[in-house]
Amino acid sequence: MRRTSFDGWPCSIARTVDILGDGWTMLVLREVFYGESRFDGFIGSLGIARNTLADRLRRLEDAGLLERRVYQTEPVRHEYRLTEKGRDFFGVLAAISAWGDRWLAGEEGVPVVMHHTTCDHDTRPQVVCSSCGEPLRHADVAVTTGPGYPARLLKRPDVRARFGLDLEG
């Protein structure tokens, strides 16, 4: 069965979903952030099928989020390490964790606490404006096309209406 690709879509969310593909990919990345790096370790912590894990690791390596390094030569075994692109994904996982903590945690409280070692305090991740530092909320944000949006799509009335562009130009 062929997987639908969102790689060419003019949307960073769609392109990111194209890399992630499913929940296992996010959980593999979570485990790497928690310190796991070896195939058998992922199997033990996630209970994921070997073929599924091999596919997700390959997908993350192909996308440039992980790099594979030999840690044993007889037999050859690899570990998986975050690249700069992979380390930059932490904010996405932190935001998902914060949402889950707010909406899905049980009465007993959040399952995992993030501790900011720089200031030595427990923290809750927030997405904030890069200019003023205020939390970003849907009601306070407008979206428009950026320089990478395909010019051919800007001619469509539905696209122009979605982004609040004048319908004349």
Q: Mind listing the domains of the chain with CATH numbers?
A: 12-87 (1.10.10.10), 90-123 (no CATH), 128-169 (no CATH)
**In angstroms, rounded to a whole number, what is the distance separating the alpha carbons of residues 40 and 65?**
19
- Residue 12 is predicted with a pLDDT of 81
- Residue 168 is predicted with a pLDDT of 59
Cβ-contact 128, 136 below 8 angstroms: yes
Cβ-contact 143, 163 below 8 angstroms: yes
Quick check: helix, strand or coil at residue 164? coil
**pLDDT tens digits for 24-35?**
999 999 999 999
pLDDT surpasses 60 at 1: no
**In angstroms, rounded to a whole number, what is the distance separating the alpha carbons of residues 169 and 166?**
6
Q: What length is written for the chain?
A: 169
**pTM > 0.75: yes or no:** yes
Percent of the chain with pLDDT over 70: 96
- Residue 9 is predicted with a pLDDT of 82
Confidence of residue 95 (pLDDT cuts 50, 70, 90): very high
- Residue 130 is predicted with a pLDDT of 97
